[in-house]
Structure 1
Amino acid sequence: MYRSRALAVLVPSLLAAVLGSGAPAASAAGSGDGGPVPHCLNPEGDDLNALYHVKQRIIGPPACRETFEKAQWVRSAPDWVTAADGASAVYPEGYEPLRIDPIDDFDHKFVSATYVHDIGTPQEKSFTYKRKQVLRTGSVGPDGLPFTALISPPFKALSVGEHTTTVFITLDAEHCDGLGTVREENCLPAGSSVFSDTSFEVVSRPRHDGDHDPDKS
């Protein structure tokens, strides 16, 4: 599975500006121009489009950083992986989970995810979704560890060129994954923090033999 640990907490003033900028709804599902969509494979070779029933191009893993112009796209974030259960979990000193199993603790504390495109530019746009709109729960990896995936609703097409997409998550209490005792590595803070940040490119859709060009009619 495509996994990671969260990035550092964002500077509070910038975070407030991002989360307070409004959140227009993403567009409804659809493939843009109706053409075929390349599927996204994570580093382990899993087909994320098939796994999560996504019709649009997924942006997230290293091999999935390109999408077509005029086509909707979906943002995935690295899976959050925890200890298998409460019995095997280990935590930093003083931490007390609210749910016995660490994966249930994460899902319970998760409030929302905010997706910011082209952060810090005039083209910046922000979208916020609640738990049920983004969390994909109930999965277990080959190593026997449970994980929760974050898969956004579809976003409208962006202009051709380079873009960035940053994911912030908001938790209503601190969460630790049960896999270690180092807070900086194994825990997520209460409030909002950066979870994933990546760049990607929107490219022109390749033409195929036999395509009709109305400008040359």
Structure 2
Amino acid sequence: MNRARFLAAVVPSLLVAALGGAAATASAEAAPLPRPEQQVPHCFDSDGVDVNELLGLKERIIGPPSCRETYAKEKWVRTAPAWVTAPSAEKAVYPEGYTPSRPDPIDDFDSKFVSATYINDMGTPRERSFTYEKKRVLHTGFVGTDGLPFSVVASPPLKALPLGPHTNTVLFTLKEQHCDGFGTVEAENCLPAGTFAYSTDTPFTVVPRPAG
């Protein structure tokens, strides 16, 4: 799987022509949290693009490196890395033997996407998972200034978690294999059929609300 296509932190930096989060650096600092009476701050990527505005979300976002904290008793939304494809059927190239279900690669991905599963604190006694159908999580219709279309998956608002450190893992379920149209190497350019880990163990922290 071509991890360079996974733009958890930088997808929002693509200026889009349509309205509407894989390599993220662990060293990025989290944006400061507001006081409780203030509006939930928007999540900005490393280029200063507003992720909340991009996706039309009012809740706090967990995903990019600068967006890894929430307050106690506060709902949050998990953004997964975007899936970027070749711009059209005419420009797409695929591994030998692969035939897309839809002519344009982005439509092929969207048509095969079934659901996303969000797992909090995987592998611990606190592990909990939530699965949501396509219509609740898939944001599509984006086109970057480079002409490449992409889709972004973002959870519905998730329940607040206890104070302290946590992780969140995102699984995708596709009904058939999908390839992005960028190349002929299946391991780099394709997603498998079935359920698989798409973005693993993203760390974040629930912190107390400041007094006053």
Q: Assess same fold via TM > 0.5.
A: yes
| CA-based RMSD | 1.5
Give the residue type in structure 2 aligned to 1:201: T
8 A Cα contact 1:4 1:80, kept in partner: no
SS of corresponding position for 1:74? strand
Q: What is the aligned counterpart of 1:70 among 69, 73, 80?
A: 73
Matched, 1:180 2:198: no
2:209 alignment partner AA:
R
1:170 to 164, 168, 173: 173
CA distance in 1, matches of 2:116, 2:37: 28
Contact 1:89 1:179 in 2 (8 A): yes
Q: Distance in 2 between matches of 1:41 and 1:115?
A: 22
Count of aligned residue pairs for this structure pair: 181
What are structure 2's unaligned runs of at least 5 residues? 1-9, 12-20, 24-35
Task: Give the residue type in structure 1 aligned to 2:67.
Answer: C
Aligned to 2:155: 152
The SS at the match of 1:51 is helix
| 1:44 to partner: Cα distance | 3.3
Deviations 1:51-110 (A, max 9, x none): 212111100011111111111000000110000000000111111100000000000000
Distance in 2, matches of 1:146 and 1:107, equals 11
Are the aligned partners of 1:81 and 1:103 in contact in 2 as well (CA < 8 Å)?
yes
2:22 is matched by which residue type in structure 1? S
* Aligned-partner Cα distance in 2 for 1:45–1:183: 34
4+ residue stretches of structure 1 with deviation over 6 A?
none
With structure 1 as the length reference, what TM-score do the two structures score? 0.80
The residue matched to 2:80 in structure 1 has which SS? strand
Q: Which residue in the other structure is 2:22 paired with?
A: 4
Q: Return the index of the structure with the highest Cα Rg.
A: 1
Letter in 2 for 1:91: Y
> 2:157 is paired with a residue of what secondary structure?
coil
Q: Is the Cα–Cα contact under 8 Å of residues 75 and 151 in structure 1 kept in the other structure?
A: yes
Structure 2 distance, partners of 1:144, 1:176, is 18
In the TM superposition, residue 43 of structure 1 has moved relative to its aligned partner by 3.0
Q: CA deviation at 1:34?
A: 6.2
Match of 1:185, SS state, is: helix
Q: Which runs of 5+ in 1 are unaligned?
A: 6-32, 212-217
